[in-house]
Amino acid sequence: MCYNLSMAFGDLVLDSGKALPLGASLSREGVNFAIFSRHATMVTLVLFESPAPDSPRVEIPLNTRGNRTGDIWHCLVRNLGAGVCYLYRVDGPYIPEKGLLFDPKKTLIDPYAKALTDLGHWNFRKNMGFDPGQPRCIIIDDDDFDWQGDLPLNYPLRFSVLYETHVKGLTAHPNSGVEHPGTYRGVIEKIPFFKELGITSLEFLPIQEFNEREFPRINPRNGETLINYWGYSTVAFFAPKGSYASDRKAGAQVGEFKEMVRELHRAGIEVILDIVFNHTAEGNEKGPTFSFRGLDNPIYYILNENKRYYQNHSGCGNTVNCNNAVVRAFIMDCLHYWVNEMHVDGFRFDLGSILGRDQYGRLMENPPVLEWIAEDPILGATKIIAEAWDAGGAYQVGWFPGGRWAEWNDRYRDDVRKYWRGDPKETRHLATRLAGSSDLYLRDGRKPFHSINFITSHDGFTMKDLVSYNSKHNEDNGEENRDGGNNNYSCNYGSEGPVGDPVLQEIRKRQLKNFFATLMVSLGTPMLLGGDELARTQKGNNNAYCQDNRISWYDWSLLEQNRGLFRFVKEMIAFRLRHPAFMRPEFYTGRDGNYNAIPDISWFTEKGVTPEWDKIGCCLALRIDGSKADTLADTDDNDFFIMFNAGLDPVVFTIVEAPKRKIWFRAVDTSLYDPDDILLPGNEKPLSSQTRYTVKVRSTVILLSKEPV
């Protein structure tokens, strides 16, 4: 069977093709197309000569005998190459009460599409038939890139420091100083900054192609249309976002994403992707149909008893049926693609608890897809991080199923915030978080590094706003300030928002340093919110999901304004990574592991005695034994004595005796000004025979033991 589309296409010869792999696979023979639909009665492949809206097209119906194997529809189109675009039409029963919503008038995106044309000019809500502006799938040549020997870095979690950021927002500001603002290449241009900061891994907000224009709201203050900035509304799970590429040629985003990964790896920096398998951009029953819904709605989504409607455990209108065998295979194919073809080092699974729900929306004890991800041999060295809750009421922090999963530890976030705010009875909780959250992770055999410790993330206040606002200020989001969390455990210390009072400014700066110091000496894997090291503000907006503007973009002028804070953060990161005592692979036991009469960790009050945890105040001290027998490192580390004072008065701490033939040296005191707040290796201040140390108001002090000079 031949189809003559145009002189550019030449004669297209259609063969039966094969069922696997799914998607559009380029070979020397042509392109093999394969797509799943169990309930369809007819599938039509729509080919376009180019991405142009008026591009010539041809429609190729697939025969149910020659082009169908089981539930897979397939064909091989010879004489076809990379750059050609395609969509599908799928016919079948339209029985909404059974969840079947086939409509042959609508053109559909292949779930396995590796790139899409520009989404910016298509109204998803009006996909009633063929629309020249609809994004099209682009055939990609996966081999058309020179990796130059690159492979994923796959650092062990315990040696990692994560940095959560947004590809566009990182460099979109006019003062970003890059040639390619808001793009993958803009990220490459910031590599010297990341190297100076010292982080090991970038964790990107979603970069899979998403619908920016799904919100019908405007900013009530200035009338601007609000768009989806964060990207938690996936359209195509295999496709990197085209608008993040500096070259807007169709398909160029794939090569630019690979280029970014390669150059980050060359600089020793990992790439972790935030991935959103819990829902799609098709929304609820009133949403658009452009892919999964039109291909096989009851397979891909969890439906209500009345199958016209969707269960909504995501808070976004629908819930993906993750533990259906077909969807499980889709998820694994997607993860394999990003690891094998795109070389990423890990994934953070948004609302990960949804991946543990069955076809009825019930949480499962041993969810197949979570176990498969954890045990999959291809993903064996890949980081897998769960947001261990969802919008349907599931909360699984500390008991997320599936084996080796790490988790965003929001208990760490809240307990550290409350301690430094000065809340009563929080000191014992601080101790638990400093020690790796064994209350959450020890019981099922996981390790301290499975706790992703963070104080701020994209979802909530920035750290600067955490110490500047008592309440959220989300009026720009057009929801009358109803959106966003209300329990932020923040404090403005006397005045809401920016202030000129130098005393108040100093309090806030000290609290920022306390947060960073606490994060870097805690057992677990630390994650920073990008821009916190610059004291970036969102003006009190704690839910800036729709703010693609200067509210969210990094203001790089802050680097110079807050040079002292930046120095403190980078030196604290370096301090952590120099000392295996803070990266030990096992939980503390409170016992002596090397017969030196010093437990691996010891706790003290400011008076130097063991705390009564029910009565302890706002002060806490701890001693960490750095011997290799306790840290399981190759060499002995220093010992450490760390003092915390969240109170409003200076406190004189009793310092425990240093190891034999050694004395204590001050490395960190957050009450001091730059550069004395953190001293470089070799420049630490000796305390000699000093047995007491005054820890100022709201301050952290870190001592380490060395032989006297």
β 85-91/137-138 pair status: antiparallel
Instruction: Confirm whether 350 is a catalytic residue.
Output: yes
Contacts 24+ apart (CB under 8 A), 358-365: 358/323, 359/302, 359/321, 359/323, 359/324, 360/302, 361/302, 361/311, 361/313, 361/319, 361/392, 363/394, 364/323, 364/401, 365/401
CA-to-CA dists, residue 182 to 105, 246, 252, 520, 551, angstroms:
36, 8, 15, 30, 15
Helix (H) or strand (E) holding 694: strand 692-695
Instruction: Confirm whether 677 is a catalytic residue.
Output: no
Give buried/exposed letters for 549-575 (b at 16+ CB in 10 A, else e). Answer: bebbbbbbebbeebeebbbbbbbbbbb
Identify residue 278 by its one-letter amino acid code: N
CA-to-CA dists, residue 174 to 191, 453, 557, angstroms:
18, 32, 10
Distance CA 556, CA 615 (A): 45
Distance CA 115, CA 74 (A): 19
Which stretches does DSSP call E strand in 220-342?
Answer: 234-240, 270-275
Q: Which of 263, 274, 296, 387 is catalytic?
A: 387
Please, are residues 695 and 670 in contact by the beta-carbon 8 Å criterion? no
CA 498-500-506 angle, to 5 degrees, is 85
Q: Which of 256, 350, 533, 669 is catalytic?
A: 350
Distance CA 341, CA 143 (A): 9
Tokens at 510, concatenated: 């000290």
Helix (H) or strand (E) holding 411: helix 410-421
Please, are residues 390 and 278 in contact by the beta-carbon 8 Å criterion? yes
Please, are residues 656 and 706 in contact by the beta-carbon 8 Å criterion? no
Write the Ramachandran bin of 366: left for phi over 0, alpha for psi from -120 to 50, otherwise beta.
Answer: beta
Q: What is the DSSP letter of 388?
A: -
End-to-end Cα spacing for the chain: 86
Place of tokens 């064996």: 380
Torsion of CA 228, 233, 234, 239, to 10 degrees: 20
CA-to-CA dists, residue 46 to 7, 17, 49, 107, 288, angstroms:
18, 16, 10, 8, 20
Q: Which residues are catalytic?
A: 350, 387
